[in-house]
Amino acid sequence: MRLSGRQIDCVRGGREVFSGLDFAAASGQALAVVGPNGSGKTSLLRLIAGLLAPAGGSVVLEGGADELTLPEQAHYLGHRDALKPALSILENLIFWRDFLGGDAGDLRDSLARVGLSHATHLPAAYLSAGQRRRLSIGRLLAVRRPVWLLDEPTSALDAAGQDLFAALMRDHLSGGGIIIAATHAPLGIEAMELRMGGKA
């Protein structure tokens, strides 16, 4: 499997964010997207996820499921945790499993792998920032998708949480997955680097 972008142009609000951008990552590879604030890291992830349309160029996933679009084969984990505060930890994961569909794993196992099995019935409103991030990461495990698009994935995680997530990312890559991560901090895994410019 190979995810690539060729000559991508991004315009937001009438402003050119980046232009002529090329990137590529194959099965088992991680690409760290780095650069200053405003350089287009999040915009690139949103383009790949199908949440923004490129002003030019193309993004292609080769070797994936022919009947599915790229967004249907990718998880987008934004820098904000998309959780329903009134639902419990387990209910939030059930919601995402049902919403995303596809190849679902064992939800309780997913919560155990992110260190939340002790609090499955606790409402998400009571979670700390680090626990909310762990629950968001659990969504990556609850429904299997080959491409992970991660925006500042280690934000709010303590050292133990960062180590745990690094192990999960290594597992995903060893299974042939692809990771594209916008980050200011080290991911804790081996990754190629795509450096974005600094247009204001």
Give every CB contact of residue 103 below 8 A, 6+ residues apart in sequence. 143, 144
The answer to whether residue 198 scores a pLDDT higher than 60 is no
26-46 pLDDT tens trace:
999 999 999 888 889 999 999
Stated pTM of the model: 0.92
- Which element (helix H / strand E) includes 168? helix 159-174
- Quote the pLDDT of residue 106: 85
- Quote the pLDDT of residue 79: 80
Where residue 186 falls among pLDDT bands split at 50, 70, 90? confident
Residues 182, 153 contacting (CB under 8 angstroms): no
Return the structure tokens found at 97. 């499993």
Residue with tokens 């200053």: 36
Residue with tokens 């680090």: 130
Positive or negative torsion for Cα 80, 29, 95, 120: negative
Domains and CATH numbers, the chain: 2-195 (3.40.50.300)
38-89 pLDDT tens trace:
889 999 999 999 999 999 999 999 998 989 999 999 999 988 888 999 999 9
Span between the terminal Cα atoms of the chain, in Å: 35
